[in-house]
Amino acid sequence: MLTHDLAIGYAKPLISNINLTLHKNSLTCLVGANGIGKTTFLRTLAGLQRPLSGVVEIDGNAISTLSPAQISRLVSVVLTDKVADSLITVNELVAMGRMPYTGFLGRLSDNDQKIVSDSISRLGIDNISDCRLQEISDGQRQRAFIARALAQQTRIIILDEPTAFLDFRSRAEVMELLQNLAHNDGKSVLLSTHELDLAKRFGDCFWLMEEGAIINVQPSAQSLADSPSSWFRETR
């Protein structure tokens, strides 16, 4: 995934002239203060929101030229929005990841069922697959959403604050899972966070969002620590 002279925002740009590359086999952490525009940026990259100008490109194609069905086979997204129906089971949630391949009726083939089962196992939530979302913990629910993204079988996974509202152990476990998906499955994983300690521990490269700019800081976590960012100095 590439961006060319991208500008994001609503009536007026939050950030302009964004030129970045999201790499394969890499966990990229988008870091910045709360409310600075990380969610807007991620939604624009995922094709959920139109850029004010510029291009988001995947495999040489502008994402604006792709249909929702085409995008859903390339990019999976885990947002912080609550699921409207908390009565669905973990298995049913993860099965939604197969919707780009099953058509309108959503009938799962034997292969689809296997992919759903394998995704649940990869996230270590077999024991709660029949539980409803309202019956499980926040950490288990986050694993279920990541399993849904895995079942979608996209090369790019975008997550908005995947460790929000979790205890420290769950936050570290989720970050390790995402790192493994990037390194072992050849995924391009991009997540937003304001937790620098976790980003430095698990991230491969970093996009530092400040007012009016995104700084590409890579490849080392030390580079992030050495950043002249006033926001970093204020929060570490």
SS3 content of the chain, % helix, strand, coil (to 5): 40, 25, 35
CA atoms within 13 A on the CB side of 132: 7
Exposed, middle or buried by CB within 10 Å (0-12, 13-18, 19+), for 221? buried
What pLDDT shows up at residue 234?
37
> What's the rounded Cα separation, in Å, for the pair 13 and 29?
22
> What's the rounded Cα separation, in Å, for the pair 29 and 7?
20
Length of the chain: 236
What pLDDT shows up at residue 231?
41
- Which residues are within 8 A (CB) of 175 and not within 5 positions of it... i.e. 6 or more apart? 162, 163, 198, 201, 202
What pLDDT shows up at residue 104?
65
What pLDDT shows up at residue 150?
95
Could you give the domains of the chain? 2-235 (3.40.50.300)
The string of pLDDT tens digits covering residues 82-136 is 665 688 999 999 999 999 998 666 789 999 999 999 999 999 999 999 999 999 9
Give the percent of the chain with pLDDT over 70: 89
The string of pLDDT tens digits covering residues 126-165 is 999 999 999 998 889 999 999 999 999 999 999 999 988 7
Burial annotation 58-76 (CB, 10 A radius, 16+ → b, else e): beeeebeebeeeebbebbb
pLDDT band at 1 (very low <50, low <70, confident <90, very high): very high
Cα 86 to the chain's mean position, in Å? 21
What pLDDT shows up at residue 85?
66
Among candidates 167, 229, 174, 166, which has minimal Cα distance to 201? 174
Averaged confidence pLDDT in the chain: 88
How big is the CA angle at 34 (ends 32 and 204), to the nearest 5 degrees?
Answer: 30
Instruction: Tell me phi and psi for residue 190, to 5 degrees.
Output: -125, 125
> What's the rounded Cα separation, in Å, for the pair 36 and 165?
19
Mean pLDDT, residues 72-91: 86
Kindly tell me the sign of the dihedral angle through the C-alpha atoms of 51, 53, 58, 61.
positive
Reduced to 3 states (helix: H, G, I; strand: E, B; else coil), residue 74 is coil
CB neighbourhood size of 93 (10 A) = 23
What pLDDT shows up at residue 47?
95
The string of pLDDT tens digits covering residues 5-52 is 999 999 889 999 999 999 999 999 999 888 889 999 999 999 999 999
Name the least confident of 70-84, 124-138, 177-191, 211-225. Answer: 211-225
